[in-house]
Amino acid sequence: MKIRDTFLLPLAGVALVLAVWQSTVVLYRLPGIVLPPPWDVALALLQLTGTQAFWRDVGVSLFEFASGFTIGGLLGVAIGVAIGESRTFRLASTPVVESLRFVVPFAWIPLTILWFGTSYTGKIALVAYAVFFVMVVSTARAVAAVDPTLSRVGTALGMGRWRLAWSVHVRAAAPTIASAARAAAAIGWIAVVAAEYIGASAGLGLMITNAASSLATPVVIAGMIVIGLIGAGVSALIGWLARLRLDYR
Amino acid sequence: MTPVEQHPQHVDAGAPLRGGQLAVEHVSHEYVSPGRRTPALADVSFAIQAGRVCCVVGPSGCGKSTLLGLAAGLLSPSSGRIVWDGEAVRLGPNKHIGMAFQQPGLFPWLTVRENVAIGLRTRGLGRHEARRIAEEFLATVGLADFQDAYPSQLSGGMAQRVGIARALALQPRLLLLDEPFAAVDAFTRLKLQQELLALLRRYRPTVMFVTHDVAEAIAVGDMIVVMSARPASVLRIIPIDAADRNRASPAFARKLGETLECLGVTQ
C-alpha cells in the first residue's frame, strides 16, 4: 500500500503524460524544432546539468526568489498583523491594499525594467511585491479569525495588547499563514521566471528565451521542467518546515 | 460574624483568606454596533463578601457572561461600576483575577504544562518557578501524568480541569468561572464540582460562578444571584447554607424550588 501510494501512483501519472507526449510526436510526425520527443529533452536536461552556466542561472533565479520572498513575506506578515489588530490601520490601508492586490506582478514588469534595468533588484522587488500581497491579505484574515475565546483567555491571563497579538493571535494563525506562504512562494517563483523571460541579464527565464531564439527546443522544454521541479521543491520545503514547527495535533 | 461560623463547609482552618470583596454597583451594559444597541444588563447591584462563592443563574443569553467580562475588566460598563477591594475595576488585564470559560480555551500549540505556566510567565515569574507552580497545580487537579500532552489529546473533562488549574495557578484573589462545566457530561460535572469545592476551600478566593445549572449553584455557592431574561436585572439573592448542599436533603429541594420558581420554572 505504502509503495503504491508513494511511488507507483505518482509514477503512473508521469508515465501517462510522457506516453501522450511521445505518441503525439510520433502520430503527427512533428519535427524536433516544434516538439522534440521526451528522450531528446531528457538528453538536453542531462547535458544542461553538466554546464556551469546552467547552475549559475538556477542560482541567480533562486537568489532573486529567496530574497524577494523573505522581504515580501516578512513585510506582508508584519503589515497583515497590524491590519488584523488595529481598526485604524485596517481602515487606512484597505483602499490601497484592496486595489493594488489585483494589479498582478506581471503588470509591473515594464516599470521594473524601466526603474531597475535587467538587474537582480527588479526581480527581487517583483517577487517581494507578489509575495507581499498574498501574505498581507491572508495574515490579516487569519489573525482576525482567531477564536475570540483565546483572546479573552489571553487577556484574563494578564496579556497586554501586543503580547496578545504576538503570543496568541499570530501563533494561532501560524498554520494558516504557513499555507499562505506556500501559495505565495508559487506565485513568487512564477513572477521571477516571467520577469526573466522579458528582461534579464541572467537566470532560468533568460536561459530559456536564449534557447528559443536559437531554436534549441529541447533545451527550452528542459528549462521549463527545471522551473516546475524547483517550484515543487520550494513548495514541499515550506510545507515540511511548517509541519516540523507547527504540528501539534 | 466570620465566614467560619456561617459556612462551616467552606472552611479549612489553615487556609488564609485570599479573596477580597467585590461589589457590583448599579451596573448597566449595552452592546453598541452600527445601527443597533443591545442592552445586556439593567441596573444590576449585589456584593460578594471576601472569600465567598457567588453563583449567578439566569436564562441563557441573559447577560451573565457580560457580568463576568465586566468583573474581569474585559469590558467596561455603560454605566455604574464594579468595585474590587474599594477600587473601581479598570479595563485591561487585571492582576487579581483568574478566569475559566465554558470552552476551556487552551492554547492548542502548547503542552498542558505550558498552558498552565503561560499565565504565570505573563505575570513576570521566571521559567523554572512558573514550571514548578504549573506542575503543582496540575497534580492538584489530578493531571500530573498529562503535563506533556497537547490539549487535543485530552477529554472534555480533562481539558476543563486544565482550564481551572490555569486559573488557580495564578493564585487569584478573584476567581471568575463562566459555565466551566456546561460542556462536560453529567457524571464528570458532578465530579468536577466536588473537586472545585475542595480547591476553593484550600485557596479561598472570592468567586463569581456563572452557571445555568441551579443544582450546581446550590452545591457550590454561598449565595445565588438569580437574574431575569435580557436585559438582565437581579430578581433575587438567595443565601445558601452548608445544610442546603446535600442533594438528598429536603433543604436542597427547598432551595432548588425557590430558585426555579424565581426563574419562572414552576414544578
Task: Give yes or no for A174 touching B (CB within 8 A).
Answer: yes
Verify whether the Cβ–Cβ distance B176 to A155 is below 8 Å: no
Task: Give yes or no for A157 touching B (CB within 8 A).
Answer: yes
Verify whether the Cβ–Cβ distance A149 to B105 is below 8 Å: yes
Verify whether the Cβ–Cβ distance A149 to B93 is below 8 Å: no
Cell of B67: 457580568
pLDDT of residue B248: 86
Residues 6+ apart with CB under 8 A from B36: none
Question: Helix, strand, or coil here: B244?
Answer: helix
Verify whether the Cβ–Cβ distance A159 to B150 is below 8 Å: no
Q: In angstroms, rounded to a whole number, what is the distance separating the alpha carbons of residues B193 and B19?
A: 20
> Across-strand partners of B4?
none
Q: What are φ and ψ of residue B182, in 5° steps? A: -70, -30
pLDDT of residue B4: 39
Task: Give yes or no for A178 touching B (CB within 8 A).
Answer: no
Verify whether the Cβ–Cβ distance A157 to B118 is below 8 Å: yes
Q: In angstroms, rounded to a whole number, what is the distance separating the alpha carbons of residues A93 and A79?
A: 9
Q: Which residue of A has its CA nearest to B72?
A: A156
pLDDT of residue B176: 94
Task: Give yes or no for A176 touching B (CB within 8 A).
Answer: no
* pLDDT one-digit tens code per residue, A98-127: 898 888 888 888 899 899 988 889 999 999
Within a 10 A sphere around the Cβ of B10, how many other Cβ atoms?
A: 20
Q: How far is the alpha carbon of B109 from chain A, nearest alpha carbon, in Å?
A: 6
| Domain A34-245: CATH class, spelled out | mainly alpha
Q: How far is the alpha carbon of A149 from chain B, nearest alpha carbon, in Å?
A: 6
Partner residue opposite B101 with nearest CB, options A152, A158, A163: A152
Do B121 and B131 touch, CB atoms closer than 8 A?
Answer: no
pLDDT of residue B14: 57
pLDDT of residue B15: 67
pLDDT of residue B39: 87
Q: In angstroms, rounded to a whole number, what is the distance separating the alpha carbons of residues A56 and A164?
A: 45
Q: In angstroms, rounded to a whole number, what is the distance separating the alpha carbons of residues B22 and B206?
A: 8
Contacts of A156 in chain B (CB under 8 A): 72, 74, 93, 97-99, 167, 176
Task: Give yes or no for B33 touching A (CB within 8 A).
Answer: no
Contacts of A149 in chain B (CB under 8 A): 101, 103, 105
Domain positions in chain A: 1-30, 34-245
Task: Give yes or no for B103 touching A (CB within 8 A).
Answer: yes
Per-residue pLDDT of chain A (249 residues; tens, 9 = 90+): 688 888 889 999 999 999 999 999 999 998 988 999 999 999 999 999 999 999 999 999 999 999 999 999 999 999 999 999 998 999 999 899 989 888 888 888 889 989 998 888 999 999 999 999 999 999 999 999 999 999 989 988 989 888 899 999 999 999 999 999 999 999 999 999 988 988 888 899 999 999 999 999 999 999 999 999 999 999 999 999 988 888 765
**In the β-sheet with B22-33, what is the strand arrangement from edge to edge?**
B36-48, B22-33, B79-84, B87-88
Contacts of B101 in chain A (CB under 8 A): 149, 152-153
Do B259 and B226 touch, CB atoms closer than 8 A?
Answer: yes
Per-residue pLDDT of chain B (267 residues; tens, 9 = 90+): 344 334 444 445 456 777 788 999 999 999 888 888 888 888 999 999 988 999 999 887 778 888 999 999 888 899 999 999 888 888 888 888 999 998 889 999 999 999 999 999 988 889 999 999 999 989 888 888 999 999 999 988 899 889 989 998 998 999 999 988 887 888 888 888 888 888 888 888 999 999 888 889 998 899 999 998 888 889 899 998 888 888 888 888 888 888 888 888 865
Q: Which residue of B has its CA nearest to A148?
A: B105
Across the A:B interface, residue pairs with CB atoms under 8 Å apart total 63
Verify whether the Cβ–Cβ distance A160 to B93 is below 8 Å: yes
Q: In angstroms, rounded to a whole number, what is the distance separating the alpha carbons of residues B68 and B75?
A: 9
Partner residue opposite B122 with nearest CB, options A159, A172, A249: A159
Contacts of A176 in chain B (CB under 8 A): none
